[in-house]
Amino acid sequence: NAGVMQNPRHLVRRRGQEARLRCSPMKGHSHVYWYRQLPEEGLKFMVYLQKENIIDESGMPKERFSAEFPKEGPSILRIQQVVRGDSAAYFCASSPGLAGGWRETQYFGPGTRLLVL
Amino acid sequence: TQLLEQSPQFLSIQEGENLTVYCNSSSVFSSLQWYRQEPGEGPVLLVTVVTGGEVKKLKRLTFQFGDARKDSSLHITAAQPGDTGLYLCAGASGTYKYIFGTGTRLKVLA
């Protein structure tokens, strides 16, 4: 069973460019979560998506950040006009979407390390 | 704002020693999870505790959820170098959101 896959694993962007981070959930999982981790810190919730729906984006910065989880294909976290402060590790997690909520285990991907020069 | 504070932040011990890591909050959580994260990887779930006072054991690791469901501890007996990593606690906030703690970075020396 393939786990949660994220690509790229490392991404370097210059200030002002766009960053696109991809997440393929585990097979059969329909719920996706994105988290951001700054060096030496815990993970911060960004957004929770189900197929074609954003359920909660309360952790997303109001500008430049967007996320989608289309009917087909991976979930995408998009950061426009990146700034140095966006440098971090971005983790995606998925869950089956059967039991619902915190009763479900979230399985994490290996993360994408974004470096903004 | 719900916060989870972990202590200690850093811990370096010799192989064979015992240790306890704490996760504290002023908020009540419906469940609490412990993860271990290794460099360059995502967190891996170790355990979920749900009931106040609950104790769960995973080989040499013992997890306890406080009676009031505001705190938790992780005790490792006879630590081994393979236990080295970042230990994170995460509390369920609301229906599906998890609040992560600040992390404890453990290094076990051979």
Q: Report how far Cα A26 is from the mean position of its chain's Cα atoms.
A: 14
E-assigned strand segments in B1-110: 5-7, 10-14, 19-24, 32-37, 44-49, 55-58, 61-65, 71-76, 85-93, 97-100, 104-109
Give pLDDT, residue B97.
77
Distance CA A104, CA A95 (A): 6
Question: What's the average model confidence in pLDDT over A25-45?
Answer: 89
Exposed/middle/buried for residue B30 (C-beta within 10 Å: 0-12, 13-18, 19+): middle
- 8 Å CB contact of B100 and A44: yes
Higher-confidence position of B2 and A117: A117
Question: What's the average model confidence in pLDDT over A36-63?
Answer: 89
Those residues whose C-beta lies under 8 Å from the C-beta of residue B36, and which sit 6 or more positions away, are: B43, B44, B46, B85, B86, B87, B88
Chain B residues close to A100, C-beta within 8 Å: 95-96
Give pLDDT, residue B98.
84
Confidence of residue A104 (pLDDT cuts 50, 70, 90): confident
Give pLDDT, residue B3.
83
B99 touches chain A (CB under 8 A): yes
Give pLDDT, residue A100.
59
- 8 Å CB contact of B96 and A91: no
- 8 Å CB contact of A41 and B103: yes
Write the secondary structure of A45-72 as one string of H (helix), E (strand) and C (coil): EEEEEECCEEEECCCCCCCCEEEECCCC
